[in-house]
Amino acid sequence: MNRAAPAKINLSLRVLGRRTDGFHELETLMAPLALADEVSVEAADAFSFACSDPSLPADDSNLAVRAARLFCLRGRREASLALRLEKRVPHGAGLGGGSSDAAATLLLLNDFFQAGRTRAQLAEMAAELGSDVPFFIWESPAWCRGRGEIVEPTTLATDAEILLLKPPFAVPTPSAYAAWRDARELPGVPYGPQASPWGPLVNDLERPVFEKHLLLPAMKRWLLAQPECEAALMSGSGSTMWALLRVAADGAALAARARGEFGDQLWTCATRLSGRV
């Protein structure tokens, strides 16, 4: 039995302030993508976990492993299963790959054990694993508030082709939020809201991340100068930049041009929004 674990992008991300619990108050519109990992499970004599990406941990620090153990603990079940993760979504990219793997594991085990938990019940469990994990339980575009765990599924006005560009480095999410309050805008970099079919596109974490990783604002300016791009924004805390492509734009050709501009180590993916749009 298997289940897709889709990546996401933030169409809008506003940081409203720091909370007393140490997290930040957010308001973000997120949308799942066709790009996805895949989680599979089968019965076994004891718990095991395997991942196609050897650079990822295979112990309890992996969110998919933690999700499996939490689900079995709450159901008072033995974790007698073999879990496998096929990775396609890069990590440290602002695309929610680890959070999505955890949510897909909860959804998968709910079916595997025929546990009958509702999405709302699974979302409560998901919130214990991470702020973004509940979003992926709903398999839908959604407004997320609080620290991200308050999820309001929504529909989007239109589908669209999206180009993802990730440089060969990751951005640790805690460092982006830690630098948010005191970060300044870099001269000549467009930070303001951009028009889109879904409302204004803006990401408050671009200020702190762009200050430290100067390649990212250069990528944003380059994307906005391309005729195929309608808008460009960083996803989450980065390091992925994403572009909304115009109708009939050739995403593969633009990706090839981007690699020519920023180097062959640039990861690229032409994909689309998915979920209940």
Query: All domains of the chain, ordered by start, with CATH?
Result: 2-153 (3.30.230.10), 161-272 (3.30.70.890)
Going from the C-alpha of 218 to that of each of 42, 184, 235, the distances in angstroms are 46, 16, 15
Per DSSP, the three-state class of 235 is: coil
Grouping H, G, I as helix, E, B as strand and the rest as coil, residue 40 is: strand
Render the burial of 4-13: b for 16+ CB within 10 Å, e for the rest.
Answer: bbbbbbbbbb
Catalytic residue numbers, as ranges: 8, 132
**Running along the chain, 277 residues long, what does each successive block of 10 average in pLDDT?**
97 90 89 97 95 92 96 91 97 95 98 96 96 96 93 86 96 92 94 94 97 97 97 97 95 97 97 77
pLDDT for res 277: 46
Given this model, what pLDDT does residue 147 score? Answer: 86
pLDDT for position 262? 97
What does DSSP say about strands 2-18 and 202-203: parallel, antiparallel, or unpaired? parallel
Shortest CA distance to 204 belongs to which of 163, 235, 240, 244? 235
pLDDT at 22: 75
pLDDT for position 56: 92
Whether 126 and 136 have beta carbons less than 8 Å apart is answered as: yes
Q: How far apart are CA 53 and CA 85, in angstroms?
A: 8
Q: How many alpha carbons fall within 13 Å on the CB side of residue 55?
A: 5
The CA-atom distances, in angstroms, between 134 and each of 55, 96, 101, 226 are: 25, 11, 11, 35
